Amino acid sequence: MGREDRSWIVIIAVGMLGLAVLGLIAPRVLAWPLAFLLFWLGIASLIRGGDGAPFTDQEADDVRALARFIARALRQAVVHGDSRSAA
- Distances in Å between the Cα of 61 and the Cα atoms of 1, 11, 38, 53, 76 are 22, 15, 21, 16, 23
| Residue 86 pLDDT class (50, 70, 90 cuts) | very low
Question: pTM score, two decimals?
Answer: 0.37
Q: Is the pLDDT of residue 84 over 60?
A: no
Q: Where are the domains of the chain?
A: 3-82
pLDDT value at position 49? Answer: 67
pLDDT value at position 53? Answer: 59
